[in-house]
Structure 1
Amino acid sequence: MKIGILTHHYINNYGAFLQAWALCDAIQTMCPNDEVEIIDYVNLKHKVINTFGWFRFYKDRENLKCWREKIKLPKTFSRARQKEMKLSRRCYKVEQVNKLEYDVIIIGSDEVWNFKDSKAYDPIKFGIGLKCKKLIAYAPSVGQATFKEMPKCIEEGIKKFSAISARDDLSFELVEKVAGKSAIRVLDPTFLSKFPMKKIKVNKPYILFYYCDKLPKRIKEQILKYAKENQMAVYGAGECDKQYTNITVNLTPFEWVGMFRNARFVFTGTFHGTVFSILNKRQFKVYLTNESRIKKVGALLRELKIENRIMESEFKFDLQKMGNEINYEKVYNIIDKKKRESLQFLEDAIRR
């Protein structure tokens, strides 16, 4: 059997890369005798906009040295895709995908169903025009798009799927309204696989940031002050800030995972920043301003019963007091159960 995964793997983003790699790895482990690959379908508009976005200079938090390292990231991601991903022949049109003759196509995860995102929206991610024996949706996210805004062709596409799962509330609701049936709730693919170990050269304990957009200045300064007073470093996981101890922006995806694995505490404002804090059993806090992230991260925290990870306006950092706030034994009791359910969904969807 030939199985293809259709997702946003081509985006220069750690979460996008790692969820694609993890889903492919999980399915190949489950189906060792089948051919499993990521369909190298590229939405050119989405790819170009994303790539050029890395060349912006943010003078409030970057200096020239930071920027020079940051603009290397598109090439770093490109090399990582060629080295670490099992990719099909490059495709730009649905007809090219159909010529690859897949028995099963799995669409997801990430915001592949965010039809409100004009740069990324692509009918093929809803199954439009695809020809295969089975069409499966694994944990697609609609971002913050709502049922009322949905293009008409999407309803036709979603009804073609033989099995549908969702990872967040809005995606779950959309499937219910469009397909007239409940989607199965599953974990993000990054929970389904183990990632390679990559050592990161660090000289002392550190606090890690990953895109805490619009974090109040007084909170950030207080965290930086605490780190200095306690002989700790402060790094960004694939992001720049001239206030950090060193520049750690040009990381490969597996080096990025390593930054979470060894952090003493993590501050993030993203879904996958939250996921990799949990996967590595790190103590963490989230600061959320983006509506889509508020909904996605909020749903995950509620699912794992750790809603108190959201930073309040009066937040004050103290690692000694916060070093054991999350009981990961309880969290992993939930994750392990949901992981079994998620893998069972995939196996049933592929084999039935």
Structure 2
Amino acid sequence: MRHKIGVLTFHRCVNYGSYWQARCLLEWLERRGHAAVLLDHVSEAVRRAELQCALSPALPTATRSEDIPRYVQKIRAFRCAVQRLPRSARFPLDQPQKSETCEIVLVGSDEVFNLDHPWYGGWPLFFGEGVPGLRRAAYAASFGNYQRDYIGAPWRNWLANFEAISVREESGRRLLEDVDSPAPELALDPCLLSPPAPGDSDPAGAERRYLAVYGHGFPEWFTQRVIGLARRQGLRLVSVGYRNDWADEQRIEAGPEAFRALMSSAAAVATNFFHGCVFALLDRKPFACAASRYRANKVRDLAALLGAHRHLVPESAPHALDEAMAAPPDASVYARISLMRARSEAFLDRILA
């Protein structure tokens, strides 16, 4: 049966993971024969916060003046990419009752349950409150860096709006165990559920093999080990989306499609971002991750879910980065992804039945 489905997520973030998880979920739903749209919430305060973050992503470190035009180019590339996605009529973030009515509303993926998110944290619509729709469910929702071991009112009460809930991380599943809501299931990030096609070969990578650097604020010990490995292996360091002065080349201006191409053409990936790990997994690339404080829950739980611990590199193990980069993820990781993909699809199929 064909359903009209509204997807509620952070689709306007200038963030590669936010864009690709929204697009991948839409494409999965469309392949299942449904009419899926992003419920296009807008807020002037959120827009300003997003712009500030996109132009100064490494605060308190100030953005170099010569980098501003490149970050502006990146912002415009994201806006164009989002414009090409199916979206509902716009409605105010604080007036979810004005959103387009859909048969089924899917909340997720991304950090939609993160009450500590700097500008989206705690908004009622991400908990199904006030959103018109016959049925509501959450798919691969994340609590992000939320550190408390409980969910207070009114959010715990709003979770009863959902007829089914799946979360992306084990830490999120534990948070929901004692909440009066549907029993939470674990599900894959949409990028792993419905992998996007590899990007076109990047011209910058055609002449010389490179290691993609994705993230910012890397610890010094990690950067020095990545530089050493790249020099030993004859790899150029290409920083994607953000400035990292220790890289050989800065590709700050990359939009979502260019990001996909750069990641898929890389010989290996060094990251401290969740979706840096996800895209390295998709492309079967050797990768190493130094988990930042903000993303520790997400990357730790992803590694545990898939058995990819080898790729989380601690400072205390001097040879861990070399071991992580020695080969792509083990075959057992992909067996686990296949199992979780089947479970994730079964969850969605039950909701959409």
TM-score normalised to the size of structure 1?
Answer: 0.89
- Picking from 253, 257, 261, the partner of 1:258 is 261
2:51 counterpart residue number: 51
CA contact (8 A) 1:103 1:134 kept: yes
The verdict on how the C-alpha distance between 1:321 and 1:162 changes in structure 2, with shifts beyond 3 A counting, is closer
1:315 counterpart residue number: 318
Distance 2:90 2:352 in 1: 24
Unpaired runs of 5+ residues, structure 2, are none
The verdict on how the C-alpha distance between 1:287 and 1:212 changes in structure 2, with shifts beyond 3 A counting, is farther
- Please give the residue correspondences for 1:162-311 in structure 2 after superposition, counting only pairs within 5 Å: 162-179=163-180, 181-196=182-197, 197-202=199-204, 203-216=207-220, 218-228=221-231, 230-290=233-293, 292-311=294-313
CA contact (8 A) 2:39 2:88 kept: yes
Query: 1:57: Cα distance to partner?
Result: 8.3
Distance 1:304 1:82 in 2: 34
SS in 2 for 1:16: helix
- Paired residue type of 2:226: I
Distance 1:158 1:345 in 2: 17
CA contact (8 A) 2:241 2:251 kept: yes
Distance 2:329 2:158 in 1: 41
Distance 2:129 2:176 in 1: 16
- Paired residue type of 1:236: S
- Paired residue type of 1:142: F
CA contact (8 A) 1:5 1:38 kept: yes
2:69 counterpart residue number: 68
Query: 1:87: Cα distance to partner?
Result: 1.1
Alignment deviations for residues 289-316 of structure 1 (CA, whole Å, 9 cap, x no partner):
31x4211111111111121212122435
SS in 2 for 1:71: helix
SS in 1 for 2:179: helix
- Please give the residue correspondences for 1:104-143 in structure 2 after superposition, counting only pairs within 5 Å: 104-121=104-121, 122-143=123-144
Bigger Cα displacement from structure 2, 337-346 vs 207-216: 207-216
Structure 2 residue 333 is matched with structure 1 residue 331: yes
Q: How many pairs align?
A: 345
Distance 1:48 1:255 in 2: 25
Distance 1:332 1:18 in 2: 20
2:154 counterpart residue number: 153
Structure 2 residue 344 is matched with structure 1 residue 342: yes
- Paired residue type of 1:53: C
- Paired residue type of 2:176: V
CA contact (8 A) 2:238 2:251 kept: yes
Alignment deviations for residues 225-255 of structure 1 (CA, whole Å, 9 cap, x no partner):
5434543211112111233222211112122
Alignment deviations for residues 299-336 of structure 1 (CA, whole Å, 9 cap, x no partner):
11111112121212243588699432632x22111111
Identity %, equivalent residues: 21
Distance 1:274 1:321 in 2: 12
Alpha-carbon RMSD across the aligned residues, in angstroms, is 2.5
TM-score normalised to the size of structure 2?
Answer: 0.89
The verdict on how the C-alpha distance between 1:170 and 1:227 changes in structure 2, with shifts beyond 3 A counting, is closer
Distance 1:152 1:348 in 2: 29
Distance 2:328 2:278 in 1: 17
SS in 2 for 1:105: strand
SS in 1 for 2:141: coil
Distance 2:203 2:269 in 1: 18
- Please give the residue correspondences for 1:74-89 in structure 2 after superposition, counting only pairs within 5 Å: 74-83=75-84, 85-89=85-89
The verdict on how the C-alpha distance between 1:306 and 1:234 changes in structure 2, with shifts beyond 3 A counting, is same
Query: 1:184: Cα distance to partner?
Result: 1.1
Distance 1:320 1:69 in 2: 35
The verdict on how the C-alpha distance between 1:220 and 1:91 changes in structure 2, with shifts beyond 3 A counting, is same
SS in 2 for 1:173: helix
Distance 1:321 1:149 in 2: 35
- Paired residue type of 1:210: Y
The verdict on how the C-alpha distance between 1:296 and 1:322 changes in structure 2, with shifts beyond 3 A counting, is closer
SS in 2 for 1:103: strand
- Please give the residue correspondences for 1:6-45 in structure 2 after superposition, counting only pairs within 5 Å: 6-30=8-32, 32=33, 34-45=34-45
Query: 1:103: Cα distance to partner?
Result: 0.8
The verdict on how the C-alpha distance between 1:229 and 1:143 changes in structure 2, with shifts beyond 3 A counting, is closer
Bigger Cα displacement from structure 2, 229-238 vs 141-150: 141-150
The verdict on how the C-alpha distance between 1:72 and 1:298 changes in structure 2, with shifts beyond 3 A counting, is same
Bigger Cα displacement from structure 2, 88-97 vs 305-314: 88-97
CA contact (8 A) 1:212 1:287 kept: no
